[in-house]
């Protein structure tokens, strides 16, 4: 029987996914946190994800290893490609091919095993880097796929992919997180954070994060390398 109180929450260790977990918990869901060790250069985010799952009393926290570095094609998974420190138009080299599709597939599989029909993901279509798998039309299409591609879906379960941040500015996300008790000092958003989790301060992710705290008029607790 489907448990309408269970939800899979994708937790990367960053600002957006942490706020999403806080929102899911505030809505009364029993949260099952899911993270990925996918060969990313910013591995410090996984330590952050563990801290975050514990801080929000996740019922379970799984970290699944997928080596997307074998495929490459992204500055986040291929050390031969530099993380850009100047913003450029179009889809940047920090885009990881099909990443959200892969992550949501694992979340969907776990949801089916747990007999849950809710999945939360912190995608954002406002303050983001132009990734195609962060758009509302992508999420809508994936929900349809989830129904067609699973035993639970064929038998009548309607999977819901929640995107509570999709239309929010970064400052609005931060304000909502603060209201829900998020400690952003334990999060890591940087594309090239060092082993201690200190942010570079110059990549797109750092820029969006810094501007968000400034616009929200909230002190930025991020630890920077420089």
Condensed to tens digits (0 to 9), the pLDDT of residues 58-76 reads: 999 999 999 999 999 999 9
The rounded distance, in Å, linking the Cα atoms of 169 and 117 is: 27
Query: Over 90: is that where the pLDDT of 125 sits?
Result: no
User: Of 88, 138, 113, whose CA–CA distance to 8 is shortest?
Assistant: 113
CATH of the domain spanning 6-216: 3.40.50.620
Residues 27-68 have pLDDT tens digits of 999 999 999 999 998 889 999 999 999 999 999 999 999 999
Residue 221: pLDDT band by 50, 70, 90 thresholds?
very high
More confident residue, 26 or 130: 26
Q: Please state whether the predicted TM-score (pTM) of the whole model is above 0.85.
A: yes
- 17 token code pair: 């996914």
Asked if residues 156 and 197 have their Cβ atoms less than 8 Å apart, the reply is no
């Amino acid at each position: 029987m489907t448990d309408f109180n269970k939800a899979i929450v994708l937790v990367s260790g960053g600002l957006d996914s942490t706020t999403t977990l806080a929102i899911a918990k505030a809505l009364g869901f029993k949260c099952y946190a899911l993270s990925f060790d996918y060969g990313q250069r910013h591995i410090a985010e996984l330590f952050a994800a563990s801290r975050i799952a514990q801080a929000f009393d996740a019922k379970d926290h799984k970290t699944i290893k997928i080596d997307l570095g074998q495929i490459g094609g992204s500055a986040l998974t291929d050390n031969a490609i530099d993380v850009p420190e100047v913003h450029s138009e179009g889809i940047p080299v920090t885009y990881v091919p099909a990443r959200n599709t892969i992550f949501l597939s694992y979340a969907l599989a776990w949801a089916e095993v747990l007999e849950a029909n809710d999945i939360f993901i912190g995608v954002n279509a406002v303050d983001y880097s132009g990734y195609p798998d962060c758009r509302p039309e992508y999420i809508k299409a994936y929900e349809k796929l989830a129904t067609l591609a699973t035993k639970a879906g064929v038998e009548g379960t309607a999977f819901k992919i929640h995107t509570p941040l999709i239309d929010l500015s970064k400052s609005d996300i931060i304000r909502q997180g603060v209201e829900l008790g998020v400690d952003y000092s334990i999060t890591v958003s940087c594309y090239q954070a060092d082993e201690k989790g200190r942010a570079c301060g110059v990549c797109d992710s750092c820029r969006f994060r810094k501007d968000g705290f400034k616009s929200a008029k909230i002190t930025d607790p991020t630890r920077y390398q420089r």
